[in-house]
């Protein structure tokens, strides 16, 4: 059994017009007193228009859903006391009234001094899934075997089509926007755990990162826990969406562990192909062509998604998640990705409909 932990980042917005509000300090102070929330479950993020939450270690998807439901509701209630709401959106659909203040902390101040233009625009929110893999070499193998599937996850989980009042024409604007950092995008295909340690040490020696927390790859080995941390997905609209991707990511990891133990060769997807596949997945989501991890050719998105479903089947079975993920998948197929839903709300009811949809999604249990 591979354990799970889920981190989510949210935007604090005015529920009337969706404008980001820098009220993280007030909201978190109130949330810390709420009986529904445990200590450190809700935390500051880089900008004061954002907050971050983390579940405890979970053994099954029902635990993930239960904790996310509780944390979202408690944090949203705290936000309501300060005239705002938390919304699970990958990028800020509307711009703030002025410059967004950075959270008061040495790490955050250093980031702004190094890249002020990037930090000021970092109103981007992801979902990070930690999968527990205790053996170091297997953990590295999982990271390498995940690489070709990251663009497919990005297309499926896209939830950031709007940015500062405009449709970006990308399904996941967060993906391409965040890729401007020095160490970002798909992770390298490390040869083994020792190679990983050497190359990370070289980045620190070169001075391009201060610590491993600045390894902003779409998937990485956690610096604090024996986990593989998959960071590729936008934060998800509903708890059901988040539960689905937690299950898919654990299944990818479980399938990779099975392949490691069977001694099957690790994939060797070229870096340039993977970066291009990532960009195209972020642009078109499920409405274009995706690069197939099996042979590196572009195919209709639906066909490549079916490849993913076949690939994760052993992992889903090993985790006991086959039935639940199939049920959640039907919801995604019925309503589309988060990007699809956001565009539909905006198309049908304009800005008001988009904001109302985002606010309602936070505490919704269904797709």
What's residue 365's pLDDT?
64
> Cα–chain-centroid distance for residue 107?
21
Query: What φ, ψ does residue 107 adopt, rounded to 5°?
Result: -65, -45
| CATH number of the domain enclosing 182 | 3.30.590.20
In a domain, 255, yes or no: yes
Query: Is residue 367 in some structural domain?
Result: no
pLDDT digits (tens, 9 = 90+) for 40-64: 889 999 899 999 999 999 999 999 9
231-256 core/surface letters (b: 16 or more CB in 10 A; e: else)? bbbbbbbbbbbbbbbbbbbbbbbbbb
Do residues 154 and 282 make contact, with C-beta atoms less than 8 angstroms apart? Answer: yes
Q: For 67-109, what is each residue's pLDDT tens digit?
A: 999 999 999 999 999 999 999 999 999 999 788 888 888 788 8
Q: Tell whether the model's pLDDT for residue 364 goes beyond 90.
A: no
Q: CB pairs under 8 A, 24+ apart, for 222-225?
A: 222/130, 225/5, 225/130, 225/132
Cα gap 93→81, rounded to integer Å: 23
Give dist(CA 318, CA 313) in Å, integer: 9
**Residue 282 CA: distances (Å) to CA of 44, 151, 178:** 27, 8, 12
Q: Is residue 366 part of a domain?
A: no
d(CA 217, CA 231): 7
**68 within a domain of the structure (yes/no):** yes
Q: Domain for residue 200, yes or no?
A: yes
Number of structural domains (the chain) is 1
CA gyration radius for the chain?
19
The predicted pLDDT at position 366 comes to 61
Across 77-157, the runs of DSSP E, i.e. the strands, are: 85-87, 126-132
pLDDT in tens, 211-234: 898 999 999 999 889 999 999 999
32: pLDDT strictly greater than 70? yes
For residue 213, what are the domain limits? 4-361
Task: Tell me the mean pLDDT in the region 191-220.
Answer: 94
Give the pLDDT confidence of 132-177 residue by residue, as tens digits: 999 999 999 999 999 999 999 999 999 999 999 999 999 999 999 9
Q: What is the pLDDT of residues 296-337, one digit of tens each?
A: 999 999 999 999 999 999 999 999 999 999 999 999 999 999
């Amino acid at each position: 059994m591979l354990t799970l932990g889920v981190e989510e980042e949210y935007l604090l917005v005015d529920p009337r017009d969706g404008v980001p509000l820098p009220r993280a300090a007030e909201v978190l102070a109130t949330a810390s007193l709420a009986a529904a929330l445990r200590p450190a479950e809700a935390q500051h993020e880089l900008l004061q228009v954002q907050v971050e939450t983390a579940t405890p270690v979970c053994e099954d998807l029902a635990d993930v859903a239960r904790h996310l439901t509780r944390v979202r509701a408690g944090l949203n209630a705290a936000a309501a006391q300060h005239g705002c709401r938390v919304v699970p959106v990958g990028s800020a659909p509307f711009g703030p009234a002025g410059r967004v203040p950075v959270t008061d902390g040495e790490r955050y101040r250093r980031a702004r001094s190094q890249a002020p233009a990037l930090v000021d625009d970092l109103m981007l929110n992801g979902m990070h899934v930690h999968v527990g893999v205790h053996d170091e070499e297997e953990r590295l193998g999982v990271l390498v075997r995940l690489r070709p599937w990251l663009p497919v996850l990005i297309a499926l989980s896209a939830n950031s089509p709007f940015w500062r009042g405009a449709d970006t024409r990308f399904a996941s604007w967060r993906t391409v926007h965040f890729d401007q950092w020095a160490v970002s995008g798909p992770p390298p295909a490390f040869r083994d755990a020792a190679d990983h340690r050497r190359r990370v040490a070289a980045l620190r020696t070169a001075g391009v990162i201060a610590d491993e927390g600045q390894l902003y790859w779409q998937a990485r080995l956690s610096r604090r826990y024996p986990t593989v941390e998959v960071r590729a997905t936008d934060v998800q609209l509903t708890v059901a969406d988040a539960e689905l991707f937690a299950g898919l990511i654990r299944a990818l990891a479980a399938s990779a562990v099975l392949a490691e133990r069977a001694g099957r060769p690790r994939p060797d997807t070229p870096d340039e192909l993977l970066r291009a596949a990532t960009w195209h997945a972020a642009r078109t989501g499920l409405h274009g062509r995706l690069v197939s991890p099996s042979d590196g050719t572009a195919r209709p998105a639906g066909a490549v998604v079916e490849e993913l479903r076949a690939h994760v089947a052993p992992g889903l079975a090993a985790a006991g998640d086959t039935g639940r993920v199939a049920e959640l998948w039907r919801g995604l197929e019925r309503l589309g990705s988060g990007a699809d839903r956001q565009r539909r709300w905006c198309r049908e009811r304009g800005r008001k409909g988009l904001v109302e949809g985002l606010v309602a999604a936070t505490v919704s249990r269904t797709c």
